[in-house]
């Protein structure tokens, strides 16, 4: 079993790498080689590191020479960055994806490809609960690029070039470490910072409802997606994952239950028009029936998400 | 008013050109220049002809130098060809679209772009009547490429690079002239050939239901789309057009009413596995409420579609 992770230096990539190294196997098979790729060195003891720009000509072809059985495709620039830098977003999120998919096609290696899409493929207005058959009308360039990646994944799978699974991750919360440029960063910040005794900014109204899953769940989703039977999925290769749909106020209430009123008091409301312009068009709750039927499991409530953060950040 | 038609040498392109030359105006403004583009010379008296490959570097940039106010984007390879030739389909239908859209973006000319998408963006299974909010899960490379073009159109419009409208044309029936490589060709063939006293092949079962509109309606759709108020459309820039949803048997019944049993007798059933593999996954009927609300009008029944063909092919 040879595994390739692209975007391995990112938060999810590092957690997935750590989990695979602990497990030592994937889909019941021993991991013989674990290859990490990113535009910066994602070096970890026990894995091979590859540094290149996937969108550059020839880069992806070089990478698929290692003939991975499973590729976790996590590479990409985040929503805020893709919105701020139009050309960079399309270059990395669309051209990079296509270069990798085409390199796989030409190399005829037919791996399982787990593609991380996003709920940013959806755009307002929405029904209260978004069903699996709801159309994709993204209102960000990031969401557009993910939608196009999904389309390619499904067609390349149908053509038999590889065996793809596209999973629309909910917002990952609580993200550890420093804030990144994702417009969704505050959803984590208002929990992570107060838990560490630090102030946090809330840039959107408290009645914003959004769907979350922990980093731990994200890793579980990826590993579960790697092991799915392709025939049981059928031709609709992209679907929305389950998560915890809560309002910002419900997030804050959970923080209060777990960490007390003092932590809650560290949250300062400071409306940000740029973030609001993006977040107001984001989806709220999902049915995610297909993913649940395929065995994907998330947290049951936001208290569990906070507990997962506390456990994972102290171990 | 300067107009550019890409794919102008195709059937719809030629009919649209003829209509615009007769009208002499578009959106209430005099047509000062009509530019026709295709990979072959689409020359017509009264219009400028441009011959190039839109997917080739620099080609689109040269074309947008004419600063069109309205672009009708009809270019592309058809479904059968995009399925038979994977690389050609992506090159023309995806790269060509992106090259043109990017050339418009860089030139900062912000025209109305009318993009012809297709009901091939949908893939089975379907509800009996497909609503406007149904997801796109194409089961052909052609449908995938059109879906990706729609995604780009919506994002480039949202960004203010141009004012796009993407219209999913039903199958155009009755197509005049010779058969082309579209998998849908037989829907026209079984009407056009018998009306001309010639034999026709029916490669699929008679209970196949499909949605049709006449070439005349297609031209009306394009001209109507060119004149829509962008603000009234909102951010969901792509939608399905109305048409006549009938079974092949109902098509044949209409042929019998218009042209008699002798014409019907010229249809020979000869199942074709390749065509069936594509057509069986095509959608049947649509709600098309948004398009109707925006003023798009199609024929009411298949008899009207046959009559339109007879009138347009004898004038």
A294: in domain: no
- Look up the domain containing A194 and give its range: 185-210+244-286+299-314
pLDDT digits 0-9 by tens, A270-308 = 999 988 988 888 889 999 999 999 999 999 999 999 999
Residue-averaged pLDDT of chain B = 95
Q: Which residues of A touch B138 (CB under 8 A)?
A: 151, 154-155
Using CB atoms and an 8 Å cut-off, which of residues 158-177 of chain B contact chain A?
158-159
Q: Do residues A227 and A248 both lie within one domain? A: no
> Which CATH number belongs to the domain containing residue B267 in this structure?
3.90.25.10
Q: Do residues A144 and A189 both lie within one domain? A: no
Instruction: State the pLDDT confidence band at A177, using cuts at 50, 70 and 90.
Output: confident
> Which CATH number belongs to the domain containing residue A41 in this structure?
3.40.50.720
Chain A nearest-CA distance from B146, in A, is 10
* Interface contact B147-A144, CB threshold 8 A: no
pLDDT digits 0-9 by tens, A219-262 = 999 999 999 999 999 999 999 999 999 999 999 999 999 999 99
Q: Do residues B190 and B146 both lie within one domain? A: no
**φ, ψ at B181 (rounded to 5°):** -90, 5
* Interface contact B135-A135, CB threshold 8 A: yes
What is the rounded average pLDDT of the residues B232-239?
Answer: 96
Instruction: State the pLDDT confidence band at B70, using cuts at 50, 70 and 90.
Output: very high
Number of domains in chain A: 2
B17: in domain: yes
B100: in domain: yes
B176: in domain: no
B180: in domain: no
pTM (2 decimals)? 0.95
Q: Do residues B306 and B222 both lie within one domain? A: no
Establish whether this prediction's ipTM goes over 0.90: yes
Pick from A151, A158, A159: CB nearest B147: A151
What is the rounded average pLDDT of the residues B207-230?
Answer: 97
- Check if the beta carbon of residue B118 is closer than 8 Å to that of residue B142: yes
Pick from A148, A154, A159: CB nearest B151: A148
What is the rounded average pLDDT of the residues B235-259?
Answer: 97
Task: Return the number of other C-beta atoms located less than 10 Å from residue A313's C-beta.
Answer: 14
- Identify the pLDDT of residue B289: 97
* Interface contact B152-A148, CB threshold 8 A: yes
B179: in domain: no
Q: Do residues A87 and A143 both lie within one domain? A: yes
Q: Do residues B232 and B291 both lie within one domain? A: no
Please classify residue B278 by burial: count the beta carbons closer than 10 Å to its beta carbon, then call 0-12 exposed, 13-18 middle and 19+ buried. buried
What is the rounded average pLDDT of the residues A55-73?
Answer: 95
Q: Do residues A11 and A137 both lie within one domain? A: yes
Q: Do residues B145 and B202 both lie within one domain? A: no
* Interface contact B151-A155, CB threshold 8 A: no
Q: Which residues of B touch A134 (CB under 8 A)?
A: 133, 135
Q: Do residues B152 and B205 both lie within one domain? A: no
- Check if the beta carbon of residue A22 is closer than 8 Å to that of residue A55: no
| C-alpha dihedral sign at A86, A87, A88, A92 | positive
Q: Do residues A263 and A152 both lie within one domain? A: no
Helix (H) or strand (E) holding B99: helix B96-107
B23: in domain: yes
Helix (H) or strand (E) holding B304: helix B302-314
Q: Which residues pair with A116 in a beta bridge?
A: A167
pLDDT digits 0-9 by tens, B130-153 = 999 999 999 999 999 999 999 999
- Identify the pLDDT of residue B315: 61
A179: in domain: no
Q: Do residues B260 and B145 both lie within one domain? A: no
* Interface contact A152-B158, CB threshold 8 A: no
* Nearest C-alpha neighbor of B113 from the set B286, B289, B291, B233: B233
Pick from B86, B138, B154: CB nearest A137: B154
- Identify the pLDDT of residue A11: 92
Chain B nearest-CA distance from A274, in A, is 14
Q: Do residues B147 and B249 both lie within one domain? A: no
Chain A nearest-CA distance from B151, in A, is 6
């Amino acid at each position: 079993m040879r595994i390739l992770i692209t975007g391995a230096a990112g938060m999810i990539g590092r957690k997935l790498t750590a989990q695979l190294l602990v497990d030592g196997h994937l889909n019941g098979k021993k991991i013989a080689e674990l290859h990490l790729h990113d535009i910066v060195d994602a070096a970890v003891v026990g894995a091979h590191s590859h540094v290149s720009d996937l969108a550059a000509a020839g880069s992806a072809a070089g990478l698929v020479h290692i003939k991975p059985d499973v590729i976790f495709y996590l590479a990409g620039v985040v929503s805020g960055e893709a919105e701020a830098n139009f050309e960079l977003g399309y270059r990395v999120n669309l051209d990079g994806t296509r270069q990798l998919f085409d390199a796989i096609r030409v190399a005829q290696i037919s791996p399982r490809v787990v593609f991380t899409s996003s709920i940013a493929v959806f755009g307002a207005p929405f029904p209260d609960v978004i069903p699996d058959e709801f159309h994709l009308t993204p209102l960000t360039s990031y969401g557009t690029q993910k939608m196009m990646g999904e389309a390619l994944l499904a067609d390349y799978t149908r053509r038999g070039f590889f065996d793809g699974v596209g999973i629309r991750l909910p917002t990952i919360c609580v993200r550890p470490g420093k804030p990144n440029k994702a417009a969704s960063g505050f959803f984590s910040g208002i929990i992570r910072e107060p838990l560490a005794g630090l102030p946090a900014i809330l840039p959107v109204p408290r009645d914003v409802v959004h769907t979350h899953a922990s980093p731990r769940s994200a890793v579980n989703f990826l590993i579960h997606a790697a092991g799915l039977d392709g025939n049981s999925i059928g031709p609709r290769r992209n679907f929305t994952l389950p998560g915890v749909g809560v309002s910002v106020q419900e997030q804050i209430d959970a923080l209060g239950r777990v960490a007390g009123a003092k932590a809650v008091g560290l949250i300062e409301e400071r409306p940000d028009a740029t973030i609001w312009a993006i977040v107001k068009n984001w989806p709220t709750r999902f049915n995610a029936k297909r993913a649940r039927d395929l065995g994907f499991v998330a947290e049951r409530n936001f208290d569990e998400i906070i507990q997962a953060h506390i456990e994972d950040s102290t171990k």
